[in-house]
Chains A and B, each alone.
Chain A
Amino acid sequence: MLLEVRGLGAGYLGEKVVSDIDFEVSPGEAVAIVGSNGAGKSTLLRAIAGLLRPMEGRVRLEGRDLTRRPAHRIARAGIAYVPAERHLFPAMTVKTNLALGAYPRRPDRSALELVYGLFPRLEERQRQRAGTLSGGEQQMLAVGRALMSRPKVLMLDEPTTGLAPKLARAAFRALEGLKATGLTLLIAEQQVPLALSVADRGYVLENGRIRLEGSPEELEANPEVRRAYLGVA
């Protein structure tokens, strides 16, 4: 087991937003956490990343307990998190943003080549300031920066936020490419069909709890999922 979440509960100001979360991710797997807006997907990912202190439960990476470690420790342990808001360094160039992804090490050439191979657009714009990029390019940069640390798990929150449908599909094709390199992915997404198109397994989050889990085929065949998320009567 690469990533293991057991009985996790987290929220804000003493109010739990998610609770009793149990799931796991195996090496090389792509796992989707789907659910509507406000289901608690971001809260869950923030708690795993250490940006939010979990109230209960455990998070383990390769058996190592990372619960309640500060975010920078969790990042260095190998969980790279790409939040929906991206949190780039706007006044720095694309290249410097990528270099900082490898912090505290100097960026290594092969990681940089991997990122530029995946997103040629970033190489074209490497001297441009991150704040001047388009939404789609910023998303590429956020993913690229996360990859520079050579993470064990890449965790993405709503990678399609603010992207036009065509760009959203392109983003998921890029994620498929990443999966093909053997990278482990954990993706929270409310565009359920897109998320299930790349995932090996999915979990449905509702009101802060996991309601269903299964393979994409099982979930797509589930009447509840069809009604609530796939727009099928």
Chain B
Amino acid sequence: MKAVILDGIVLGLGFGLLGVGLTLVYGLGGVLNLAYGEIAVFGAIVVSQVMDRGAPTLVAAGVGMLAAAALSVLLDLTLMRPVYRQTGEERTLLGLLLTLGVAFVIVGLLNWKYPTGALYIFVGGDPISIAGVPMAAGSVWASVITLGVAGVLLVFFGLTTFGRGVRSVIQDETGARLVGISPSLVRTLIFALSGGLAGLVAVTRSMSAPLTVTAGFDLTTFALIVAVVGGLGSVAGAFLAGVLLGIVDNVSAHYIGEYITAIVLLAAAAITILVRPRGLLGR
């Protein structure tokens, strides 16, 4: 049981990291970025290509994250501009359609250029014992990185002036403009952060299992579920929801069966929307 929960937490931290990048962009601009998972896969392919050319893993990971961040910013500066000119439901719908289109284009291009592309970062070393349970070294390191990033993000958004500025845009865009904050600059920077986090998700996931070129759709789906359950726009909510869902996922996979987990996760999201439409930590 302890091992099942621990594995669930490891899985859930990954979910949380996945949800953060999506939830921030939604909170700021009202756009659910359906190309999010594909941006992560794009980052993964860049990492594997750079590694194939003999670069050290850390360098390759950095390049991949930067590439994913750049792709995300490109999206914000081009296709998203007409979306921001709309408001309310029209903005949401146009955002969904455009990012879905982008997702198709990216997945098509990657499948065409790198049909067998995959990223696997091998982390050597013996299993590491946590609370008496031996855990694979790759998973442990991925979790450590994720926890570190979660801590940095929470401090950044909670305590720094710019981080508070970002949250102010999420809560009241007009209010933010009136205190001297440029929502479009904040959005562009958050798109960059979101893309970089997508790249990081690709890297940390590939430390325990290979990430293939077809993984994008699953990543987007998990990110959506995590973001909805955590509360759209909430960083802490995304990590909390990620860990809870990770435990739920792993427990149901272990005691019921792997086939049931997707249904259980979707049910968790549906129940959250019914019982608490704002999500766990949504405002």
Contact = CB atoms under 8 A, between A and B. Distances in A.
A217 to B, nearest CB: 34
Contact of A90 (B172, B176, B177, B183): B172
Contacts, number: 78
Nearest to B177: A71
Q: Which of A49, A85, A100, A149 has the most CB of B within 10 A?
A: A100
B178 A81 contact: yes
Contact of B172 (A49, A88, A106): A88
A83 B174 contact: yes
A101 interface: yes
B180 interface: yes
Which size bracket describes the interface of A in this complex?
A: 20 to 34
A87 B180 contact: no
Interface stretch (B40-48, B162-170, B245-253): B162-170
B2 interface: no
Contacts of A81: 178
A146 B175 CA distance: 10
A90 B180 contact: no
Contacts of A192: none
Interface stretch (A53-61, A91-99, A116-124, A218-226): A91-99
B129 interface: no
Contacts of A146: 178
A51 B283 contact: no
Interface string B168-191: 100110111111111100000000
A70 interface: yes
A103 B172 contact: no
Given A104-B161, A106-B161, A89 B178 contact: no
A91 B283 contact: yes
A75 interface: yes
Given A51-B177, A51-B178, A103-B164, 13 more contacts: A70-B182, A71-B177, A72-B182, A75-B178, A75-B179, A75-B180, A83-B178, A87-B175, A92-B164, A100-B179, A131-B283, A146-B178, A149-B180
Interface of A: 49-51, 70-72, 75-76, 80-81, 83, 85-92, 96, 99-101, 103-106, 131, 145-146, 149
